[in-house]
Amino acid sequence: MIFGLFRGRGNARVIERLHGEIVAAARDPVLFTDYGIADDLDGRFESIALHAILLLRRLKQLPPPGPEVAQDLADALFRHFDLGLREMGVSDIAVPRRMRDLAEAFLGRANAYNAALDETGAAGQAALAAALSRNVFGGAGDGARLAAFVSGLEAEFAQMPLAEILAGPIFRVKAA
């Protein structure tokens, strides 16, 4: 049943639910009040990107159709970014450039976070904290506490099979 779910270009309801869960988790007020993520456009992008990267990472690790679900989810994420830019009043001429900038930022963060999460032990935690400090806090904040939260979320996702991700809810670890 699960494998038939994503034949063709996927099940839009599942993808939209996953996207909605990413956005809801990324808007947890504790991330802004206790972890220090800026409550502005950039901070919200960082929070959404962080949550999406972790879920996409897990989906890509799973057997098919996990990677196909990841691609459909990434496509949906960027469709929503595009829509958000247009709703903010970014001109049709400027949207492609802004989307390219967002895609480059997202990919850079994904590469940095994935590399850090692939490392084990204290070195991995330090690399993750440094990447979070650089990206989320512009180099002006300590990413260690946020790195601990990210590691907890990563560990939770590592235990989830594809069926559980597709059924939801997926973000059980709350920021604290």
Residue by residue, what is the 3-state secondary structure of 99-129?
HHHHHHHHHHHHHHHHHHHHCCHHHHHHHHH
pLDDT of residue 11: 84
**Distance between CA atoms of 31 and 139, rounded to whole angstroms?**
17
Structure-token match 């993750």, residue found = 128
pLDDT of residue 4: 47
Query: pLDDT at position 173, please?
Result: 63
Amino acid of residue 24: A
Cα separation, 155 vs 117, in Å, equals: 10
pLDDT score at 8: 46
Q: What is the mean pLDDT of each run of 10 residues along the chain (176 residues)?
A: 48 94 96 95 96 98 96 96 92 93 97 97 96 96 94 95 95 71
Report the distance separating Cα 105 and Cα 1, nearest Å. 36
Residue 30, pLDDT score: 94
